[in-house]
Structure 1
Amino acid sequence: MSKSDLPFDLEDAIAHIKAGKPLTGKEGLLTPLIKQVTEAALQAEQEQHIANSEQPNRKNGNTAKTMKTATGSFQLKTPRDRAGTFEPQIVKKHQTQLTDDLERKILALYAHGNSYQDIREHLKDYYDIDFSNGTLNAVTDKLLPELQAWRERDLDPIYPIVWLDAIHYKIKENGRFVSKAIYTILALNIEGKKELLGLYLSDTEGAHYWLGVLTDLQNRGVKDILIACVDGLKGFPEAIESIYPETEVQLCVIHQIRNSMKYVASKNQKAFMSDLKKVYKAATKNAAEIALNDLEAKWGKYYPVVVQSWRNKWDNLSVYFKYPEDIRRVIYTTNAVEAVHRQFRKLTKTKGGFANENSLLKLLYAGILNATEKWTHPVQKWSLALSQMAIHFEDRLQGFLDL
């Protein structure tokens, strides 16, 4: 290619680079280059259109509009024809962004919890482009159809372990902010990889609504869950049993400990915790029950409500004792799904509340996309854990394992 064939002056470009001037932004080298190339392509497209026109036609000046690109913004001259039949395809009418690069950058910034103001400032600093909140909202709204498809997708017929928990946010409704619960379902699939099965939004957290969530999972193809790990919400185990009667429900031991310590006087907490640890850290269920008897004998008269709570929930609190250590450490707490909620809180920490449900859901979904990119490997020692589960759940896992 000769110098005369280039859409810009090569010597000027080299001098620009040597002078240390920017490649992008208002004074950058690439923006005017993109402008020249795009306008030349539009002119060629128009000339071909006129040449192929059946009716007499000719050029008729141009119109200008501001184009936004990843390298900066510029005024683009779009050629017109006398007959008004020219419909450019390279840059279509009403199109104001040259590529989807900017949208990807906006969504990437959004997925890391940046506010619209932060995103606007970033784009202005790096690309000298001004975006309104309305434009940014329109870009992030493109996540909503994708979110809906994700929430309705088919699921695997069986999941060895599922964690269920809720997190609460303030959402504006009828002119005031109200607290609503986001229900999160995290699973380990047969391959031992984490998978978020869904997000559900409700006015309150309750076993009745969880029943609807579980029904949705069933309708989307989940036929069996081996172990469900949940917090201490009343009625939760019964809700699970009504949809998945064979599922073993493990109540979160950490939740139970935290709730118990609220009722223990501060001067006794250290000693009480030492005795309580002998219960949930026991090697066997029998040893744990002996330790629970000892706990009651020593502390029962001081904290009868705490001891009785362990007694009442013992069937679901003690499920993990029947499994080897590799499975126990995974199921005795809901820490796995709480880690997802910690990521949610990082995204939303600068938000006092949300204007509507969609503004919350699309932000959380953007965060999910960002987080799941890292979930490419199974949990540690999963092959061993799965082989042990195959012994406990032989009939239910048969046909799903390559053994």
Structure 2
Amino acid sequence: MTQINFTLDFEKLKEELIRSNLNDVVKSTMIVVLNAYMERERDQYMKKEAYQRDENRHDYRNGYYERNFTLNVGKVKLQVPRTRTGNFQTELFEQYTRSDQAFILSMAEMVINGVSTRKVTKVMEQLCGEKVSKSTVSSITQQLDPLVNDWANRPLNASVYRYLFVDAMYIKVRENDKVVSKAVYIGLAVREDGTREIIGLQVAHAESKTNWSRFFEQLKSRGFQSPKLVISDAHLGLRQAIQEQFVGASWQRCTVHLKRNILAKFPKKEKKEASALLRHMFDAPNVKIARDLKDQFLTRYAEEAKYEAALRILEEGFDDAVQFYAEPKIAHSHIKTTNVIERINEEIRRREKPIRIFPNNQSAFRLIGSLLLDTQKGYDQSRNKRYIYFQQ
């Protein structure tokens, strides 16, 4: 896309902000910015500034028309420039993110299928106007479904992946006139060059060895090879599937989840001290020091029976939680937890919350897939693309 440089009218911006309520400040700012952007686009199309005369001009400015445009902050009304021939088209609306389209589509499906609440209807009025037609839903579906499906099934044999993070979160979906709980399986891998790639998405039934195995088999069918390390929580079915599907790969148990499980067995008044000791243990500079700190922890609390359950969890989980020490030190802070994928889950939860119950499985897959697609685009376009800076 052609790069557009434009100058904002800050006096106009100031006037808009003064007239705005506090809740409308972001909307007012975006209106001024987007209007200025489109004006500059038309100037570049015309190849002449406004009021410059040229006998060989190919078109003429022809005022503006109003168009509603939906953003994360809500619906805004823009002044879209036009020309006499009608050949000028702004690229602004083509940049409208897939995740926002999918969000609106999911809400619209709820309204049309008659499964929405009064709150959902009110949100839809704010986002899309008073009415949502089936043709609108169909139009967005036709644009998004092939994109999301192609992305979710793309080949993975072009890259070598060093690490694989996996996790599942739960959503509610309407199925056969019932509301059921579905698991959303997500896989994020780190390539040998240290960059991130979201490689897997699946909406299926509750976590089990069988379902996790199907998820991994789908990755492998697309060309994914066993990584050096798989990072996850300690779900039994997941651990068994990792062991069977990725022979030779090590498993890193998320240290945050392990610490949480240990502290859950401590009396409330003693959790703060125990938490600090566990943090030092898994932040140790090497595995030898980490083992020494573990032994000190066990000795400190071994005398009283009330700590027995917590100490057993530590002893059983420690070795799996220190596998990251076998990897380059630069990677330790990144691979000892599932934080990178938990942040993705939080963003999904934020967008899923207003919907509450997805109208169908495909709607959930479309919205979450679109969000992941836009997240990956953000990774690829970031100034610091590498997640881990390995020595090359």
**Local SS of the residue matching 2:379:** coil
Cα deviation digits, residues 105-158 of structure 1 (max 9, x gap):
48464257795476765666xxxxx86242332133121122222222110353
Structure 2 Cα separation of the partners of residues 174 and 379 of structure 1: 44
1:132 maps to which residue? 132
Tell me by how many angstroms 1:186 deviates: 0.5
With over 3 angstroms needed to count, the CA separation of the structure-2 counterparts of 1:241 and 1:2, relative to structure 1, is closer
Structure 1 Cα separation of the partners of residues 93 and 131 of structure 2: 11
> Any conservation in 1 of the 2:173–2:180 contact (CA below 8 Å)?
yes
1:154 maps to which residue? 155
> Any conservation in 2 of the 1:282–1:288 contact (CA below 8 Å)?
yes
1:323 maps to which residue? 327
1:59-208 alignment runs, 5 A limit: 105=96, 107=98, 109-110=100-101, 115-116=107-108, 121=126, 132-142=132-142, 143-156=144-157, 158-208=160-210
**Of 347, 351, 357, the match for 2:351:** 347
Structure 1 Cα separation of the partners of residues 79 and 297 of structure 2: 75
> Any conservation in 2 of the 1:192–1:379 contact (CA below 8 Å)?
yes
TM-score of the pair, normalised by structure 1 = 0.67
Cα deviation digits, residues 336-361 of structure 1 (max 9, x gap):
11111122122212111100011111
Tell me by how many angstroms 1:313 deviates: 2.2
Tell me by how many angstroms 1:194 deviates: 1.2
1:396 maps to which residue? none
Identity over aligned pairs, percent: 19
> Any conservation in 1 of the 2:207–2:237 contact (CA below 8 Å)?
no
1:24 maps to which residue? 66
Query: Which residues of structure 2 form unaligned runs of 5+?
Result: 1-52, 69-77, 109-120
Cα deviation digits, residues 142-187 of structure 1 (max 9, x gap):
2112222222211035311110001110000121211111000001
With over 3 angstroms needed to count, the CA separation of the structure-2 counterparts of 1:30 and 1:268, relative to structure 1, is closer
With over 3 angstroms needed to count, the CA separation of the structure-2 counterparts of 1:104 and 1:321, relative to structure 1, is closer
2:314 maps to which residue? 310
Structure 1 Cα separation of the partners of residues 79 and 290 of structure 2: 72
With over 3 angstroms needed to count, the CA separation of the structure-2 counterparts of 1:267 and 1:356, relative to structure 1, is same
Larger RCO, structure (CA 8 Å, separation 6 or more): 2
> Any conservation in 1 of the 2:207–2:238 contact (CA below 8 Å)?
no
2:290 maps to which residue? 288
Tell me by how many angstroms 1:249 deviates: 0.9
Tell me by how many angstroms 1:102 deviates: 6.1
> Any conservation in 2 of the 1:140–1:362 contact (CA below 8 Å)?
no
Query: Which residues of structure 1 form unaligned runs of 5+?
Result: 42-68, 72-99, 125-129, 388-403
**Of 236, 240, 243, the match for 1:241:** 243
Structure 2 Cα separation of the partners of residues 107 and 120 of structure 1: 20
Structure 2 Cα separation of the partners of residues 108 and 158 of structure 1: 28
Tell me by how many angstroms 1:302 deviates: 2.1
With over 3 angstroms needed to count, the CA separation of the structure-2 counterparts of 1:200 and 1:30, relative to structure 1, is closer
With over 3 angstroms needed to count, the CA separation of the structure-2 counterparts of 1:330 and 1:145, relative to structure 1, is same
> Any conservation in 2 of the 1:158–1:224 contact (CA below 8 Å)?
no
RMSD (Å), alpha carbons: 3.6
1:212 maps to which residue? 214
Tell me by how many angstroms 1:190 deviates: 2.4
Report how many aligned residue pairs link the two structures.
310
With over 3 angstroms needed to count, the CA separation of the structure-2 counterparts of 1:210 and 1:107, relative to structure 1, is closer
Q: Which amino acid in structure 1 is aligned with residue 390 of structure 2? A: S
1:337 maps to which residue? 341
Tell me by how many angstroms 1:217 deviates: 1.2
**Of 364, 383, 390, the match for 1:383:** 390
Structure 2 Cα separation of the partners of residues 343 and 192 of structure 1: 23
Q: Which amino acid in structure 2 is aligned with residue 317 of structure 1? A: A
**Local SS of the residue matching 1:216:** helix
**1:357 is aligned to 2:358:** no
**Local SS of the residue matching 2:236:** coil
With over 3 angstroms needed to count, the CA separation of the structure-2 counterparts of 1:165 and 1:319, relative to structure 1, is same
> Any conservation in 2 of the 1:106–1:136 contact (CA below 8 Å)?
no
Cα deviation digits, residues 47-94 of structure 1 (max 9, x gap):
xxxxxxxxxxxxxxxxxxxxxx989xxxxxxxxxxxxxxxxxxxxxxx
Structure 1 Cα separation of the partners of residues 247 and 366 of structure 2: 34
Q: Which amino acid in structure 2 is aligned with residue 322 of structure 1? A: A
Structure 2 Cα separation of the partners of residues 264 and 350 of structure 1: 36
With over 3 angstroms needed to count, the CA separation of the structure-2 counterparts of 1:174 and 1:290, relative to structure 1, is same
> Any conservation in 2 of the 1:111–1:347 contact (CA below 8 Å)?
no
Tell me by how many angstroms 1:104 deviates: 6.2
With over 3 angstroms needed to count, the CA separation of the structure-2 counterparts of 1:70 and 1:363, relative to structure 1, is farther
With over 3 angstroms needed to count, the CA separation of the structure-2 counterparts of 1:308 and 1:373, relative to structure 1, is same
Structure 1 Cα separation of the partners of residues 54 and 321 of structure 2: 78
Q: Which amino acid in structure 2 is aligned with residue 166 of structure 1? A: A
